[in-house]
Amino acid sequence: MVHTHSPANAPNASLAPQAWISRFATPLAGRDAGPLRGKTFAVKDNIDVAGLPLTAACPAFSRTPAQHATVVQRLLDAGAAVVGKTNLDQFACGLNGTRSPFGAVPNAFHADCVSGGSSSGSAYAVATGQTDFALGTDTAGSGRVPAGLNNIVGFKPSKGLVSCQGVLPAAQSMDCVSIFARTVALAAQVLEAAMGFDPHDPFSRRLALHTEAFPARFRFGIPDTLNFEGDTRAEAAFQHAIHQLTTLGGAPVRIPYAPLAQAATLLYESALVAERYAAVRDFLDAHEAEVIEPVRGILAKGRSMGAADVFEAQRQLRALAQEADAMWSTIDVLLVPTAPTHYTIDAMRADPVQLNRNLGAYTNFVNLLDYAALSVPSSLRDDGLPFGITLIGPCASDWQLADLGQRFHHATGLPQGATGLPLPAPQPIAALRSTPTVQIAVVGAHLSGMPLNTQLTTRGGICLQSTHTAPDYRVGIEKPWKPAWNLVFL
């Protein structure tokens, strides 16, 4: 039995949140055994799940596939159970989560604010604890922006690492299946189960991922120009993230952001937008009135682009890629805000194009330039809204990003999503070459926030637990002493 939701203009459609489009009455279970046994997941409604309609948030487009997308089948084979299909910006065209006839998906922390998109429902389901993890897609940031705005992890793998067979294309040469989870460890575990070459996907690649652990001391790039759209809270949160990454052994390096920003503009402001039109050309040409604005205008823009225009855009992109790639000789990883600010749903609807563009300021270039990226929670602002950062690395650096991302995330002490639950103990990234570790208890100046703590963090140490000694503990003094202590994974 399948439960479905109706578009926002239908009866009872005002019920919030509109995170789901369709669900199984009971989760569709996978194998009885496997590394993901007991885990549940949601699937963005532009990815095939047999027995559930695929709408891409356009009811007139709806069809029900006979078989699962490759990535869904691999996760079922790994023991996970699929719960249902989640809401999205129509045809995965947007970064804000309001462009759907099924309703706007709210932010998990503040219902008046956008959730981010286009993988809005997937992020909300994970942030609120409705599923353990979720699948999204990421062409321009759809698997990262919702993570940053909802205090969860968004893993955007290297292109071609996870099969897109059974995924409705947005811009097929740039599309990636992305993973949302509340911890980096689970996101990495899901990626390991999902990845692998698929001959049925023309853009699938056999990638040899780097398996060296991320170095204890490293250089991280910071854009030489940053724009937070006047949001001083976000600006302060990013400065705090720079400090946090420095305490983990990083040395900040300013990098020229111009080539990255110029590459980002090509996604929608050049003939490359024709690939979005090509993805749904037959449907759009026959049913244009069924597509909502501003999605309709963005897709239709591709009609006017000629072949020569596309080749010129590709040439410009290659030139910018060569210029941008020079930064990897001076840095090991690039640090950017996942999103520069938060917007209310009302503000987004009043200015849907410009505000959406602002949300993608630090995401649009990543797939164009063939990078991997991991968005992780960084802090909760004093207004209660989350701030996230994204770690970006060259193609095939996925496991190394996970290694550093987990170290950063667990150092924040943040709760899991919007659940209020504390982070569990970090887990080794299984695909990385194992290195000997030891658990040690520390007191005094080596505690978190104390002067000698960097002697642990710069060597890859992660705080597993903090507590206090017994009330009657004494160290050669007359009065009882209650020193705090940390348990550290080193």
Judgement on whether residues 66 and 164 belong to the same structural domain of the protein: yes
- CA–CA separation, 190 vs 134, rounded Å? 9
Judgement on whether residues 366 and 452 belong to the same structural domain of the protein: no
- The CATH number given to whatever domain includes residue 216 is 3.90.1300.10
Do β-strands 386-394 and 371-380 pair in parallel, antiparallel, or remain unpaired? Answer: antiparallel
- CA–CA separation, 46 vs 349, rounded Å? 23
* Tokens matching residue 125: 């389901």
Judgement on whether residues 257 and 322 belong to the same structural domain of the protein: yes
Query: What does residue 475 show for φ and ψ, rounded to 5 degrees?
Result: -125, 70
Judgement on whether residues 326 and 450 belong to the same structural domain of the protein: no
Please indicate, yes or no, if residue 228 is contained in any of the structural domains. Answer: yes
Please indicate, yes or no, if residue 417 is contained in any of the structural domains. Answer: no
Please indicate, yes or no, if residue 17 is contained in any of the structural domains. Answer: yes
Please indicate, yes or no, if residue 385 is contained in any of the structural domains. Answer: yes
Judgement on whether residues 215 and 354 belong to the same structural domain of the protein: yes
Q: What's the confidence (pLDDT) of residue 447?
A: 73
Judgement on whether residues 142 and 206 belong to the same structural domain of the protein: yes
Q: Which of 362, 393, 412 is the last residue of a domain?
A: 412
44 labelled catalytic: yes
Asked if 158 and 28 count as a contact pair (C-beta separation under 8 A), the reply is no
Encoded amino acid at 207, one letter: L
Please indicate, yes or no, if residue 420 is contained in any of the structural domains. Answer: no
Q: What are the Cα distances from residue 247, in Å, to 241, 422, 451?
A: 10, 22, 10
Judgement on whether residues 406 and 443 belong to the same structural domain of the protein: no
Asked if 201 and 164 count as a contact pair (C-beta separation under 8 A), the reply is yes
Look up the domain containing 467 and give its range: 439-489
- CA–CA separation, 291 vs 60, rounded Å? 9
Q: What's the confidence (pLDDT) of residue 15?
A: 37
Judgement on whether residues 136 and 73 belong to the same structural domain of the protein: yes
Judgement on whether residues 210 and 281 belong to the same structural domain of the protein: yes
Query: In tens digits, what is the pLDDT along the chain, a chain of 490 residues?
Result: 455 665 654 333 333 468 999 999 999 999 999 999 999 999 999 999 999 999 999 999 999 999 999 999 999 999 999 999 999 999 999 999 999 999 999 999 999 999 999 999 999 999 999 999 999 999 999 999 999 999 999 999 999 999 999 999 999 999 999 999 999 999 999 999 999 999 999 999 999 999 999 999 999 999 999 999 999 999 999 999 999 999 999 999 999 999 999 999 999 999 999 999 999 999 999 999 999 999 999 999 999 999 999 999 999 999 999 999 999 999 999 999 999 999 999 999 999 999 999 999 999 999 999 999 999 999 999 999 999 999 999 999 999 999 999 999 999 999 999 999 999 999 999 999 755 556 677 777 777 666 676 566 555 565 555 566 666 655 554 454 445 555 554 5
Count of the separate structural domains present in the chain: 2
Q: Which residue has the tokens 């995401």?
A: 363
Q: What's the confidence (pLDDT) of residue 14?
A: 35
304 labelled catalytic: no
204 labelled catalytic: no
Please indicate, yes or no, if residue 30 is contained in any of the structural domains. Answer: yes
Query: Which of these is catalytic: 22, 100, 115, 118?
Result: 118
Judgement on whether residues 364 and 477 belong to the same structural domain of the protein: no
Query: Which of these is catalytic: 39, 44, 85, 156?
Result: 44
Write the CB contacts of 349 (distance below 8 Å, at least 6 apart in sequence): 98, 104
Please indicate, yes or no, if residue 418 is contained in any of the structural domains. Answer: no
Judgement on whether residues 341 and 448 belong to the same structural domain of the protein: no
Please indicate, yes or no, if residue 434 is contained in any of the structural domains. Answer: no
245: nearest Cα among 473, 454, 62? 454
Q: Which of 368, 397, 412 is the last residue of a domain?
A: 412
Judgement on whether residues 482 and 384 belong to the same structural domain of the protein: no
Q: What is the pTM of this model?
A: 0.88
Query: Which of these is catalytic: 142, 178, 204, 375?
Result: 142
Q: What are the Cα distances from residue 82, in Å, to 133, 212, 483?
A: 10, 33, 46
